[in-house]
Amino acid sequence: METFNVSLVGVGGQGILLTSDVLAKTAALAGLDVKKSEIHGMAQRGGSVISQVRFGDRVFSPIIADGTSDLLVSFERLETLRWRHLLAPNGKVVMNDVNMTPVTVSTGQQPAIADLEERLVREYPDMLRLNADEIALQLGNRRCMNMVLAGALSTVTPFAPELWIDAIKDRLASKAKLIDLNVRAFEAGRAAVAR
């Protein structure tokens, strides 16, 4: 398989790193070579976080060059625009349709983007969008939003859902009581996209 590039972006505390771990494990379970990188920035203060996962027959570097992400997975609307430069010309976008006010905006250091929705629609007319936070709340725990988004992501990757579920179980093996909720969240994300 030719190398496939996925960039996962959002803000600290959204579960981006867990999601990228699950994606990387899924690709490894499929027998592919996998490389992963992450940049936390000011993650603990709600700052921007990015994790990149590359998989294929042979992958030499974990870093995805600008303009070469086959998939941009955004955990928040503004981050979808912030990381636009990563997306390949024919790349796809999966977006969690929620707003998180950046610290720089809430403290008055810079203004909010007034035309965010218009810019999103213009930049990504074919994006796959869902409110993963709302779906997670319906399951009883907003913190599983990342696995809802992973479920949506799984519909645009070459891996069977069973491999994803095996990867979730493996990654959460030390927190066994969370496995069922996260698998249900994953399945709810897949179902939301199918509707």
Question: Could you report the per-residue pLDDT of 20-53, keeping only the tens digit for each?
Answer: 999 999 999 999 999 999 886 654 556 788 999 9
Q: Could you give the count of Cα atoms lying within 13 Å of 60 in the half-sphere of its Cβ?
A: 1
* CATH code of 82's domain: 3.40.920.10
* Within-domain flag for 131: yes
Bridge-partner residues for 69, per DSSP? Answer: 87
SS3 label, residue 157: coil
- Residue owning tokens 């603990």: 44
Question: Residue 172 domain-assigned?
Answer: yes
Angstrom distances, CA of residue 127 to CA of 69, 83, 99: 14, 14, 16
Residue 109 falls within a domain, yes or no?
Answer: no
Domain-embedded: residue 76: yes
Residue 95 has pLDDT above 70, yes or no: yes
Is the residue at 150 inside a domain? yes
What residues contact residue 105 under an 8 Å CB cut-off, 6+ apart?
A: 111, 112
Question: How many structural domains comprise the chain?
Answer: 1
| Claim: this prediction has a pTM higher than 0.85 | yes
